[in-house]
Structure 1
């Protein structure tokens, strides 16, 4: 054993002889044959100065040495695997910490990414609401949107009438006169049956065929049908019948009747 070296157990101070090949086995980790505790033999090597072979052999009994060698390296593979060197434990703990940190960062990143479409969706919704609220007058030109406009104006307040404000208006004595070139003259009498003055409405004209189906539509603003009337303020007093004439485009041979819907004007 020319390459034999001495190592000392740091727990019980027992000395053992080891070789280079034994040290390289399991990275120098061994178990003490005296106290059975694990230590790194390569970290506790030492040299006896001026000690002959006889004194060396006398300080280390053959039986003790044999037992130590057997216990030192006989179960290394079985013992080291679960325990592992301290350096490896530290490395594993550091690696676990890095993995935990990485997992946390990934989770935070995923959460931040998941909020992006939600924030964009909310922003778009707010934008749509602002556009709708700011254009209730234009929306009121469509009778199908009257309930939505009424609801918005009830909450936010509007600077224009809503469709329900014209429920007190009525029309009668209607008639259709063909004028040629697919032009029709629509005559009727508009009257405010309520007790309060109301603004003149825009008038949606639905032209229908013999089956009652709507063929075409036309919207007349107050400026159009009041052009030659003395209603500068565009207000319709109560109980004052007003004769109105509208000129619209439509197939003379197809149009048989019409229906009027009163909606808020654009101005």
Structure 2
């Protein structure tokens, strides 16, 4: 079994655990993991009291003949539990040749023999279940990487015993760069130094170095697209159709006569009117009515009267109402001398008396009797107007 001792850095007052092999490796010279300065661990060994107190007492497995002792607790500092990962510090470029350690080592050889006379147990200390686990795992300082001082003891295959900690480790996936911004380590915390150039056992490399913390969100596997409110859509569609129908009905009501006379819409009105109880207005195309053989002569029976004869034609493909006739007399300069309009019942007679529509492509003879407008009425013309 390897003897363990407690030493304290004279510069930063940080305590560590050392064993015999570490003290013999470089004549007790070690490097502090907190302030990174080299000191002689054998010179600054802490004398343990005969009766350990609650503040500081070594944890060891008592032999069978020894009486049981109470599990000690490490001396804790009142500073906040800041932790700095010293295992990642690379200080192998320090040179110990500039330090005058030979004089101090020769003076401490006698003290080392006295300390080795008191055997210490190397069993793995058991954590106190009553103590709160709120402090991170301690970090072991390293000795300077000097080839002449590096001695590997015979028990190198054995792992160094982990120090007693009463607090949980800091999360290993924390980025390493945050350690440089933390406060210095607790001065009164007991640590265990290791030989320079040897990796610290029991300290695995964090698998998630440099990874950012991600917040996991629950994945909903039963997510479905929300149903479309078809009932509401149907209501809105019905309201839109009703509004369109109302607008269309208003337009038809105010433009019924005009639309019913157009060839593109009249067939539809002819089919719907028998069911709706409406009557179609007659189709009128005054431009398709022509006149020919217009003759003005003196009345054979009455003096001062004239007789006007003409033939009318409906060139449209449909029957239309008889138009209004306008007879106009003008002088030699084109100035109107007399004019008169005739309704269908005034110029229709004989077989055509009482008819309302002109048959298509059928010549119709008319005869009008009027008073003589005078000698100045040298020109005359006949025009047609819509009966409505």
- Indicate the structure with greater helix content: 1
Superposition TM-score tier, normalisation by shorter sequence = 0.3 to 0.5
More strand by share: 1
Indicate the structure (1 or 2) with the bigger Cα radius of gyration.
2
TM-score (norm: length of structure 1): 0.37
* TM-score of the aligned structures, taking structure 2 as reference length: 0.26
